[in-house]
Amino acid sequence: MKKHLNTLFVTTQRAYLSKASETVVVKVEGEVRLQLPIHTIGGIVCFGSVSCSPYLMGFCAEKGVALSFLTEQGRFLARVHGPVSGNVLLRREQYRWADDPVRSANMARYFIVGKIANCRTVLQRVLRDHSGKVEENGLRRTVILLGRCLERCNHESDLEVLRGIEGESAHAYFAVFDNLIVAQKDAFSFKERNRRPPLDNVNCLLSFLYTLLTHDARSALETIGLDPAVGFLHRDRPGRPSLALDLVEEFRPFLADRLALSLINLRKVQGRGFKVMESGAVKMEDDTRKAVITAYQERKQEEIIHPFLEEKTTVGLLMHMQALLMARHVRGDMDGYPPFVWK
């Protein structure tokens, strides 16, 4: 199994990474600073001027070790990955399904059910753990409404109707999202979701976390051999990783929204870490971005029981497992795709 392994972060400028038999060697100014067996590493992230031998790149690709290059501030530059997966039968079937409205609607329903169920759990958890600190009546009403949306999804096979239900539930969920912010209200208030560009601090934070999720979803799908660009709920659009966006849906509330809330509520990010540009668009300062990435990485190391497979795993491996389950469904092993649903 893919085990959750540690990620090697290389932040020392002008470090050089190379391969020596089954190990990764980190040299700084010609001196070996670190040597690790490759099978103990899940990923390598290089910040800034860090270089890497092509043999190590090939080795990482072969071993499924994610190798990424970021700027010193943590902005994504590039990722090294090996050849496209050879599972052509899987990809062909994926394309056939994407061309079939009934199959597409079915898949879309799984993603939407996962998303709505997890939105509902986010609200239920807040009601359970922070009762008294939040305005409860609105949250309760929304929980009931989301439950109804879930039931309406049950026997719906029309993609447009499903998209309508998804839109309605997202609208209801974001209408009470501001109630979940209980600290730093002056800097972090939320009215509605806006994306292109984000116009306030909360939206800026959410957008950045959704981007991180999409990167991970894309990687997971590519690793399994599915084409991240051909989706079911999200239709093809050149340059858009539609299937990655489909897979991200069930993870938005569980992983990104909750992380954004805890960063704000625990004061891990502050208003001064965001900047309003001349157009009104909001962007993150570098150290805020770094803090968010660090929090996201820490979150991914937490252990969790997979709700469908009932096996212990880590948050960071959930996407990989979901991509695998999706592939097994497309290849006819299973009677459906079980979205990750957090209780």
Partner 1 sequence: MMYSEDDPIMISALQHYVFCPRQCALIHIEQVWAESRLTAEGRIMHEKVHEEGNESRGSVRIARGLPLRSLRLGLVGVADVVEFHGTGKGAWQPLPVEYKRGKPKFDLSDAVQLCAQALCLEEMLSIVVPEGALFYGKTRRRTDVAFDEALRRETEETASRTRDLISGGVTPPPVYTKRCKNCSLVAGCMPKAIAKQRPVTRYLAAVTKEI
Counting residues that bind partner 1 (by CB under 8 A) gives 40
Contact stretch for partner 1 (CB under 8 A) within 6-14, 162-170, 171-179, 303-311: 303-311
The CA distance from 22 to 53, in Å, is 14
| Contacts for 213-218: CB closer than 8 Å, 24+ residues apart | 213/248, 213/251, 213/252, 213/255, 213/256, 213/319, 214/241, 214/244, 214/245, 214/248, 215/76, 216/316, 216/319, 217/241, 217/244, 217/245, 217/247, 217/248, 217/251, 217/319, 217/323, 218/244
286: closest CA among 36, 104, 12, 47? 47
Nearer to partner 1, 218 or 329 (CB): 329
Nearer to partner 1, 260 or 326 (CB): 326
For the CB of residue 321, give the shortest distance to partner 1 in the complex, in Å: 9
Decide if residue 151 touches partner 1 (CB under 8 A). yes
Could you say which of 42, 43, 198, 225 contacts partner 1 (CB under 8 A)?
225
- Output the CA torsion sign for 166, 167, 170, 175: negative
Decide if residue 238 touches partner 1 (CB under 8 A). no
For 146, residues 6+ apart whose C-beta sits below 8 A from its C-beta are 116, 119, 120, 123, 169, 172, 173
Decide if residue 64 touches partner 1 (CB under 8 A). yes
Nearer to partner 1, 62 or 158 (CB): 62
Task: For residue 67, give both structure tokens.
Answer: 């190798």
Could you say which of 147, 199, 283, 285 contacts partner 1 (CB under 8 A)?
147
Nearer to partner 1, 204 or 327 (CB): 327
Decide if residue 22 touches partner 1 (CB under 8 A). yes
Decide if residue 295 touches partner 1 (CB under 8 A). no
Could you say which of 8, 66, 90, 243 contacts partner 1 (CB under 8 A)?
90
Task: For residue 103, give both structure tokens.
Answer: 């199959």
* Contact map string, positions 107 to 146, toward partner 1, x by CB under 8 A: ---x--x---x------x----------------------
Decide if residue 20 touches partner 1 (CB under 8 A). no
Decide if residue 80 touches partner 1 (CB under 8 A). no
Q: Is 22 exposed, middle or buried (0-12, 13-18, 19+ CB in 10 A)?
A: exposed
DSSP 227: -
In the numeric block, the tokens 């938005």 are attached to 252
Under the rule (CB under 8 A), what is the footprint of partner 1?
1-2, 22, 39, 62-64, 85-87, 89-90, 110, 113, 117, 124, 147, 150-151, 153-154, 225, 307-309, 324-325, 327-329, 331-339, 341
